Amino acid sequence: MNKKSFLSFMKDMDQDKVVKLWEDIELSERIDYPIQASEFYPPGIWTKLLSINVNGMTFLTKGLTEESEKKNILIVPKDYLGEIPNFNLIYFKIDGKNRFKNLLHKDFLGTIMSLGIKREILGDLIVGDSISYGVILEENFKIIMDIDRISNVPVKVEVIKGEEIPAMKYKDMSVSVISLRLDSVLSGILNMSRQKAVDEIVKGNVMVNYVINREKSSEIKAGDVLSIKKVGKFLVEKEMFLNKKGKLRIKLKKYI
């Protein structure tokens, strides 16, 4: 695979990110040594990367958790026989627990971004009870380690192990749909007309299993993950059955 075919395969993705990834792939091939990407990539890119054969290379991914959307990529050249290096990532915890104010995701992310950090060098954040867990490229951790206040609340930053990251939380929900077509399922989730759901799909605001899907008639099945821009991420569970009105009843988990 050459650059032109790689960019064509990733044509629906952010081309600046795709070009940067290709440059890392070329470098790994040229020096015959694993290269760790210098940023975290969105699911649309890393899932497509894992689905193709790029000159026999191997791609490893790592994020805050297995379920995280943003992931860093380790590129391993074909027939590489040496030791595969570890990801140079730092897992961290920012503890702002207090009695007066509940710190939210936007508070933590806003403070971190105000330090001049590019969003791409930071993975996902899990926030709850005024505590944020995150992952960042090792060389950039020093930028956030001195954070001592968020929204005027004293906080403490510390390095933790990946095993200490809590599982993502979710809430159970269910919707009635006419069929398992993407537009029908989206209409049920968003409680909107089918035509408005189609508009969201056509705009590229919907991902199925982390890949943008503009096909309104695509069939959704148990185990699929639907990501809807500005709404959230939903896991379609196995239970699908007909209700008394003859509609399908689908159980989902909404990640929060």
pLDDT digits (tens, 9 = 90+) for 95-129: 999 999 999 999 999 999 999 989 999 999 999 99
pLDDT digits (tens, 9 = 90+) for 5-64: 999 999 878 899 999 999 999 999 999 999 999 999 988 899 889 999 999 999 999 999
> ∠ CA 204-208-211 to the nearest 5 degrees?
65
Q: Token match 């899932």: residue?
A: 47
Region for 130 from its dihedrals, namely left if φ exceeds 0, alpha if ψ lies in -120 to 50, beta otherwise: left
What DSSP string runs through 14-32?
-HHHHHHHHHHHHHHHHHT
**Residue 61: predicted pLDDT:** 97
Question: What's the DSSP call for residue 162?
Answer: G
What lies within 8 Å, CB to CB, of 193 at 6+ separation is 187
Q: Give percent above pLDDT 70 in the chain.
A: 100
- pLDDT surpassing 90 at residue 138: yes
**Residue 206: predicted pLDDT:** 94
pLDDT digits (tens, 9 = 90+) for 52-100: 999 999 999 999 999 888 999 999 999 999 999 999 999 999 999 999 9
What's the pTM? Answer: 0.79
**Other CB atoms within 10 A of residue 109 CB:** 18
The mean of the pLDDT values for the chain is: 93
The two three-digit tokens of residue 238, written as one number: 């196995």
pLDDT digits (tens, 9 = 90+) for 223-244: 899 999 889 889 998 777 887 7
**Residue 68: predicted pLDDT:** 87
